[in-house]
Amino acid sequence: MISGSLTLFNWSLRADSRSPWPHVIRACFALFMLLAIAAAYVDVFGASGAGLRFFHNICILNVLLISASGISYFVSAVTEEKEAGTLALLRLAGVTPLAIILGKSTSRLISSLMLLMVQIPFTILAITLGGVLWQQIAAAYVALAAWMAFVSTIALFSSVRCQTPGRAAGLAGAMLLLFFIVGPAVTMGVPLLPPGWMPPVIVAGLEKIAVWQFEASVFRRLTEILEVQSATPDLTSPQLWWNLGTAIVLFLISTVMFDRWSPQTETAMHGESPTTRRLTVGRCWSLSLTWKDFVFFTGGRLFLASNALICFLLIAGFAWYQYLTTPWLGIRLNGDMAWTAFVTLSILLQVEILLYSSGILFAEVRQSTLSSLAMLPVSPVRILLEKAAACVIAVLPAIFCLLIVFLMDPSGISGQLSATMIMSWLTVVLLSSHLTILLSLYTRWAALPLAILLTAGSFLCCPMLTMTTFLLTDIVARSHNFRGTLLLGCLVNLTWLWLFVLLPIELEIVKRWKTLGQQ
């Protein structure tokens, strides 16, 4: 077992170290922190606490990147062997499930921990800016390392349980989302329930789950560390033990259930009889590539219906919570509750778009089918457009539910929205999705975290540029007696964003697609 684990560990670690992209990611992150330190010092020159604010932002960025890595990088530890058909060969060679899991997951965890280690020399400079102690930095990185172990084990569990990286990413994302919302949902929802509506045992269990989520939350731990002023924080905490304990439990479950959750790949994927095949996938559309990606990549009609059901249940949950808190408003969302539901669905839509962007082209590269697509008598641009159309169809339920929430309270949501907010959200969605697609053709697994990192760095200058563009278009429109300056400003911003940012990325995607198709 030890020999098999070391062999897989050395192979995975060498494959990662020989690839230039993990080193590029670490260098880009270090450069981003160096620029952030300089910007923080310039913005608050002479003020106190600049280092504390800077380090707090870096910690939050680390949490977001670690969470994104859980649904993109760690989930492929075992699923890549399942898709390549080499998992059965490893088992025939006598490699135990424990050896496979240790060899495949430990190397990725060490590679990710190196991303935290490369930050330490730069974060030490935050002490010079003032407001933070080295004990706080050490405690924060211990909390981040525990959170990384927790997220990586959730991804490992999903990788063992699911057969494809897409399904594993969906399961890992759902588990992380459930972890973040279960505590606040129980804390806010249980006191609103009528007395005797639920048995006391269930209520006590839900309250214990909320306490566990509160103690295991990395956000609460980081806030506790960075708010300490008089005394230095301890390196250990309930968050550390809860994260590590949960990680050990999930690791043991993955090891025990490895053989049961890793069946042989079926030759008849959609059933042996024509009737079963028609019921599962239906007839091919005139746009065959769109049909293929919609059925085999996004999940088809079943997943589309499931996605719509989840969105409607989410809206119903917000309406039920509003009815419990303010019965005179009824079940129709309005006011702050409508705005909260609108923001939540917008975030879920963005996450869904990023997940599809990270795998729509990478699936062809991983399955070595790109050269076969290149032989079709269809232009590469049309192939890419048909693939994008499949993803657009898959996100239609989220868009439709977003529109429903907006129509429930159009005046209230419109009052909360601003032109800068709309353009900033569109910029983040378009830029991050384009970067994810492009990086998925270059990197092996870290396209989504790297795209989030680059988008977060480039977004710092977007609000000022957007406001300046709106100001210029407003001056020009008023001088020519033109009404509708908001629409004109949005069109101008979208034009320059596509012309100077998105179009070069799209051209590079087409170029890279052609290059890979010729290999």
What's the angle, vertex CA 274, arms to CA 273 and CA 276, rounded to 5? 70
| pLDDT tens column, 251-283 | 999 888 888 887 644 443 434 444 434 445 667
Residues 505/435, Cβ–Cβ less than 8 Å: yes
| pLDDT tens column, 314-334 | 888 888 888 877 777 777 888
Residues 116/269, Cβ–Cβ less than 8 Å: no
User: How confident is the model over 449-455, as a mean pLDDT?
Assistant: 74
Between 34-43, 171-180, 296-305, 342-351, the lowest mean confidence (pLDDT) is in 34-43
Whether the pLDDT of residue 28 is over 70: the answer is: no
- Cα dihedral value 404, 395, 417, 470, nearest 10: -140
Quote the pLDDT of residue 43: 54
Q: Quick one: angle between helices 218-226 and 200-216, nearest 10? A: 50
Q: What whole-number distance in Å separates Cα of residue 54 and Cα of residue 39?
A: 9
Quote the pLDDT of residue 51: 74
User: How confident is the model over 16-21, as a mean pLDDT?
Assistant: 64
Q: What whole-number distance in Å separates Cα of residue 511 and Cα of residue 519?
A: 13
Going 379 to 382 to 384 to 390, the CA torsion angle's sign is negative
Tell me which residue of 127, 159, 145, 174 sits closest to 63, measured CA to CA: 145
Higher pLDDT, 27 or 204: 204
Between 31-45, 195-209, 248-262, 289-303, the lowest mean confidence (pLDDT) is in 31-45
User: How confident is the model over 226-253, as a mean pLDDT?
Assistant: 83
Higher pLDDT, 96 or 47: 96
DSSP string spanning 141-158?
HHHHHHHHHHHHHHHHHH
- Cα dihedral value 307, 313, 319, 325, nearest 10: -130
What size, in residues, is the chain? 519
User: How confident is the model over 301-317, as a mean pLDDT?
Assistant: 88
Residues 321/335, Cβ–Cβ less than 8 Å: no
Whether the pLDDT of residue 451 is over 70: the answer is: yes
Cα–Cα distances in angstroms (integers) from residue 362 to residues 89, 145, 304, in the given order: 24, 29, 22
Q: What whole-number distance in Å separates Cα of residue 125 and Cα of residue 297?
A: 45
Residues 166/359, Cβ–Cβ less than 8 Å: yes
DSSP string spanning 117-135?
HTTHHHHTHHHHHSS--HH
Taking the whole predicted model, whether its pTM rises above 0.85 is answered as no
Whether the pLDDT of residue 363 is over 70: the answer is: yes
| pLDDT tens column, 117-164 | 877 777 777 777 777 888 888 888 999 999 989 998 998 888 888 877
DSSP structure class, residue 118: T
User: How confident is the model over 437-451, as a mean pLDDT?
Assistant: 77
Residues 74/105, Cβ–Cβ less than 8 Å: yes
Quote the pLDDT of residue 257: 86
Q: What whole-number distance in Å separates Cα of residue 151 and Cα of residue 155?
A: 6
User: How confident is the model over 417-445, as a mean pLDDT?
Assistant: 82
Whether the pLDDT of residue 192 is over 70: the answer is: no
